[in-house]
Chain A
Amino acid sequence: KAGVTQTPRYLIKTRGQQVTLSCSPISGHRSVSWYQQTPGQGLQFLFEYFSETQRNKGNFPGRFSGRQFSNSRSEMNVSTLELGDSALYLCASSLNSLPTGELFFGEGSRLTVL
C-alpha cells in the first residue's frame, strides 16, 4: 500500500510570493491533516480536512489555507510568504477524523523563503 505522498519535496520562494503544496493520502483514508515543523516549535497543527470539509484549524494567520478534493487529495496554500514561513510542511492521513487514531505522515515539503 502506497504511503502518503507530498509534492514538491523541496522548494525555494521569495518573500511576497505564494506557494501551493500537495498531499495524496493513503488509499481509503479520508482525513488529511497538515502540520508545520520548525526546529524551535516542533510540530504545529495547521488544519484538518475530512470528506472535503475543514474540521479543525490551528492558530495560523489567514495566509494559510487548504482544501480537500473528492478523491481525498489535499492542497495547502500560503500566500504573501514571509521569512518565518520557512519550515517543513507535513501532511498526515488517517482512516477517519477521530484524533485518537494513528496518523500516517508523508516525508514533507521543505519550504525555504528568501
Chain B
Amino acid sequence: QQQVKQSPQSLIVQKGGISIINCAYENTAFDYFPWYQQFPGKGPALLIAIRPDVSEKKEGRFTISFNKSAKQFSLHIMDSQPGDSATYFCAAGASGNTPLVFGKGTRLSVIA
C-alpha cells in the first residue's frame, strides 16, 4: 500500500520557469515532510523539510507548500535551472519509531 503518492512521474520545464511537484498522503499521524534530491549516480540528499505547524517554508528558490486539511504538500522550484535537473522524492514520517515513507519520485529536466 503506497502511503505517499507523488506526481508527476516526470516533468520538463524551461529554464527560468517554475517546477511544481505534488504529493498526497493518507496517514494523519505523519508530522514530518521532507523532500530529497537525487542526481544520477548519487544517493538522495535532503533538500528541504516542513512540519505541519506551518503552511509554507522557503529556502532560496525552493518552497514547500503544505495543506493539512487536504493532506497534500508540494515542492515549488522557482527560476528553475538546468542544474536542478534531478529526481525529487517527497517523503513523510511520523514521530515515534517508524521509518520515512517515500513517494515514487519525479524526474525533473530543466531545458535551456
Point out residues on A near B: beta carbons under 8 Å: 4, 33, 35, 40-45, 48, 55-56, 58, 90, 92, 97-100, 102-108
A56 touches B46 (CB 8 A): no
Q: Which of B32, B42, B89 contacts A100 (CB 8 A)?
A: B32
Q: Which of A41, A44, A99 contacts B32 (CB 8 A)?
A: A99
Number of A-B contacts (CB under 8 A): 64
Rounded to whole Å, the gap between the CB of A110 and the closest CB of chain B is: 10
Does B100 have its Cβ within 8 Å of any Cβ on chain A?
yes
Q: Which of B34, B43, B96, B103 contacts A105 (CB 8 A)?
A: B43
Q: Which of A4, A42, A98, A108 contacts B104 (CB 8 A)?
A: A42
A42 touches B102 (CB 8 A): yes
A43-B102, A99-B94 known; 20 new pairs, CB 8 Å cut-off, are: A42-B102, A43-B44, A44-B102, A45-B100, A48-B99, A55-B97, A56-B97, A56-B98, A58-B99, A99-B97, A99-B98, A99-B99, A100-B94, A102-B34, A102-B49, A103-B44, A104-B45, A106-B43, A107-B42, A107-B43
Rounded to whole Å, the gap between the CB of A103 and the closest CB of chain B is: 7
Q: Write out, one digit per residue, whether chain B residues 20-53 have a CB within 8 A of any chain A CB (1) or not (0).
A: 0000000000011010100001111110010100
B45 touches A105 (CB 8 A): yes
Nearest-CB residue, chain A, relative to B43: A105
Which of A58, A99, A102 neighbours the largest number of chain B CB atoms within 10 Å of its CB? A99
* Interchain CA distance A36-B92 in the complex, whole Å: 17
Nearest-CB residue, chain B, relative to A97: B97
Q: A41-B104, A42-B104, A99-B93 known; A33 and B99 CB under 8 Å?
A: yes
Rounded to whole Å, the gap between the CB of B62 and the closest CB of chain A is: 15
* Interchain CA distance A92-B102 in the complex, whole Å: 13
Nearest-CB residue, chain A, relative to B104: A42
* Interchain CA distance A99-B49 in the complex, whole Å: 13
20 contacts between A and B (CB under 8 A): A33-B99, A41-B104, A42-B89, A42-B102, A42-B105, A43-B44, A43-B89, A43-B102, A45-B99, A45-B100, A45-B101, A58-B99, A92-B43, A97-B97, A99-B32, A99-B98, A100-B31, A100-B32, A105-B43, A105-B45
